[in-house]
Amino acid sequence: MNPSETSRRTFLKTAAITGGALVGTGLVPGLSPLAFARGPRSPLRDDRKTKHIVLIAFAGGVRTKETFGMPANVPNLTAMADEGVLFPRVRTANLGHFGASMSIFTGISEPRGIRENSRGPDPTLFEYLRKDLGLPQSDVWITTSGGAQQVNYSYGLHADYGPKYGANTLDGDGIFNKEFQEVLEAYGMPKPMGEGEKEILDRLRGSLGAGDEESAREAEALARVEQYILDELTRGTSDITGAGAADAKALRLARNLLSIFKPRVVGVVLQNADIAHGSFNGYMEVIRRNDAAVGELWNAVKDDAELADSTAFIILPEFGRDADLNARRGLDHGDGSDDLNYVSCVAWGPDFKRGAVVRDVVRTIDVTPTICDLLGASARHSRGGRMPGLYA
């Protein structure tokens, strides 16, 4: 029996026995240590300090006017910019929320339907990183707030990439909501399984599936995610309510993922700012709340010995909003103004300049090639370039 097989079996057995039991009794304050188990980390660039990256699509349509134009509104983003690099002229493409956010993750501006719910044709940042750096799925995560559609950011349909290089995706509001919790509670939590039964189960599953090494690795990864979900369900994320709750959950999950798995990459896609169509005040509230949650995430990183000096943040909206209020005293996004077409991006991390403002025009599609370069991968199909003036 080879070591990886031993490890897998041990993990599966113990996770089934201990994790389920602890969760079932509600005694788990955090994850079972086994859920953190991971193999050796893939080597990144020797000449960079950055080993982890948090990319936040501060999406839903957010103007610079209400962020860096009103520093009091976003104290955390402002503080981050003071310690990092601010790009106040980031050119966006008005492709609808879905397409515009997608372009951040692919480095390609291509039209996507606003309500289109399908994979894009191009590889995403996550696929580039996983393929080029040999990262396991547990090292690459994306948390979202916009439901089914945003799961498509995980991977595209490019023949050289695709699902085997995709990111783990968790939609905060989809899983961690009261309704889902109530359904689970109505049926009770899964009961722990005895060791003997678990062995039989593994054997039965093996007799149905391909039973090869790849299937075994996949089973291990799936079991780890299954365990994480079980534990996260007991953690109180479902209790977050109010304006922008979905965004807050996505950021909370990102924070938990970072502190637990310490993944190489965490993408976060926010969406609640789009409330601006009908409520300017609601939009402002979402921005303030999201800034506060970003601050919590940032502090969690700075307080973590492993992450503090090795983690970079890049944060930007997918596009802005119209220059003027609409008839409902809200803000749409379709007037072609600079308020819509240009947003601000903040970058903070150990390899970046401190307190710099880069006034050159960059593009949202430059983010993916920049991150790939930072970690040592190549966004070879991207149409963006490396962001200038970033490195110290």
Partner 1 sequence: MCGTRQSLGSAGVCDTVSLAVGNARVVTMVSPLEPRQGRQDDGRTHARPARPLDAHVLRTLSLDLIGRPPFAVEVEEWSGKPVQAFLDTVLGSQEFWEHWYEEQLYYFLLIDNFRPATDSTRTIPAKLVEGRMSVRDALHRVALSSSFNLRNPGADTFVTVVMEQVVGLTVQKHKAELEIGKRVYDGHNGLFLGSFGENQSDVVRIAIESKAAARAFTAREFVRMTHREAPKKELAAWTRKLHKDPHTFIEVVREWLLSEAYEARLAHPVPLANRLFVRAVFVDLLGRLPEPAEAEPLRNALDGLSDSRPLRSVLVRLLLDSGSVPIPEKNSIRDVTEWVAGLFPRFLGREATPEELKAFVLAFGEPECRPKTILYAILSNAEYHTF
Element (H, E) at 54: strand 52-57
CB of 241 to partner 1, least distance (A): 14
- Decide: 279 and 324 in contact? Cβ < 8 Å: no
Closer by beta carbon to partner 1, 291 or else 318: 318
Neighbours of 287 (CB within 10 A): 27
Neighbours of 206 (CB within 10 A): 14
Q: Which residues bind partner 1 (CB under 8 A)?
A: 95-96, 111, 113-117, 142, 144, 147-149, 151, 154-155, 163, 166-175, 177, 179-180, 182-184, 186-191, 194, 196-197, 200-201, 203-205, 207-209, 222-223, 225-226, 229-230, 277-278, 326, 330, 332-334
DSSP class of residue 334 equals -
Neighbours of 326 (CB within 10 A): 16
C-alpha distances in Å from residue 179, one per residue of 34, 176, 234, 360: 29, 9, 14, 47
Closer by beta carbon to partner 1, 230 or else 254: 230
The closest alpha carbon to 238, from 296, 297, 181, belongs to: 181
Closer by beta carbon to partner 1, 199 or else 351: 199
CB of 244 to partner 1, least distance (A): 15
- What is d(CA 368, CA 129) in angstroms, rounded to the nearest whole number? 10
Closer by beta carbon to partner 1, 128 or else 348: 128
CB of 253 to partner 1, least distance (A): 10
CB of 332 to partner 1, least distance (A): 4
DSSP string, 26-51: T--SS--GGGG---PPPP--TT----
Which positions ≥6 away from 381 have C-beta within 8 Å? Answer: 106, 107, 108, 122, 123, 158
CB of 333 to partner 1, least distance (A): 6
Closer by beta carbon to partner 1, 31 or else 95: 95
CB of 116 to partner 1, least distance (A): 7
Closer by beta carbon to partner 1, 31 or else 77: 31
CB of 201 to partner 1, least distance (A): 6
Closer by beta carbon to partner 1, 143 or else 370: 143
| H helix intervals, 107-177 | 125-133, 172-175
CA 62 to chain centre: 18
CB of 21 to partner 1, least distance (A): 12
Closer by beta carbon to partner 1, 80 or else 253: 253
**SS3 call for 269:** strand
